[in-house]
Chain A
Amino acid sequence: DAGVIQSPRHEVTEMGQEVTLRCKPISGHDYLFWYRQTMMRGLELLIYFNNNVPIDDSGMPEDRFSAKMPNASFSTLKIQPSEPRDSAVYFCASSDGQGSHGYTFGSGTRLTVV
């Protein structure tokens, strides 16, 4: 398996524009997580899905953020409109929900909003 795949690796956009981040989880993993990494707060959980259904979105900062998982092999995180304070590295991770090894993370998308 190629692991968790995220795209794009880097995104630079202007304030007010819509941004869409993409994630392909590991096949067979039925949990998918979106995290945001910042210097001050480290890794923050934004939302997670189980079997394509959103379970907990309490970490989503505000209505400008939305996430979908239309099928078991694809998820998106959308920010509309984007703001400079959204600049961060966004990670997607997946898990089979079993065992003691936590999640497998993707390589992340570095978002810069100017």
Chain B
Amino acid sequence: DQQVKQNSPSLSVQEGRISILNCDYTNSMFDYFLWYKKYPAEGPTFLISISSIKDKNEDGRFTVFLNKSAKHLSLHIVPSQPGDSAVYFCAASENDYKLSFGAGTTVTVRA
């Protein structure tokens, strides 16, 4: 049973606009959340994270929002750029050692 769910398999957005990726989780013991980015033929790479004691973390064009009561987090990319076209994985952990991943969302940024 998947504890981390990304219900949108794909997202298409115009260059310069905002991309919003969503993630839901079921395990209330998760205390750390991460987003990974994956290009074809490469492994996932860390993008941004957030602790459960926060509700927002920002790093440049990337912002992650956490709503613990709804067990929901989202990743905002603004403005979206062609290089952002990739698969994005949401992940969560109860500690730093074991991550549970979602199925991924493929983002396509149109010129």
Binding site for B on A (CB under 8 A): 4, 31, 33, 35, 39-45, 48, 50, 55-56, 91, 93, 95, 97-108
Contacts and interface: CB of A to CB of B under 8 A. Distances in A.
A55 B95 CA distance: 14
6 contacts: A97-B96, A99-B96, A102-B49, A102-B99, A106-B43, A108-B41
B6 interface: yes
B46 A101 contact: yes
B43 A42 contact: no
A99 B51 CA distance: 11
A26 B103 CA distance: 26
A40 B9 CA distance: 10
Interface in B19-65: 32, 34, 36, 41-46, 49, 51
B24 to A, nearest CB: 13
Interface centre among A41, A42, A45 (most CB of B within 10 A): A42
Given A97-B97, A102-B91, A40 B103 contact: yes
A105 B97 contact: no
Contacts of B6: 42
Name the interface size band of chain B.
20 to 34
Given A42-B103, A100-B51, A101-B49, A107 B96 contact: no
A105 B43 contact: yes
Contact of A93 (B34, B41, B42, B43): B43
* Nearest 3 A/B pairs, CB to CB: A105-B43, A42-B103, A43-B101
B7 to A, nearest CB: 12
B98 A56 contact: yes
Contacts of B32: 100
B101 A95 contact: no
Contacts of A97: 96-97
A98 B96 CA distance: 7
Contacts of A101: 34, 46, 49
A31 B34 contact: no
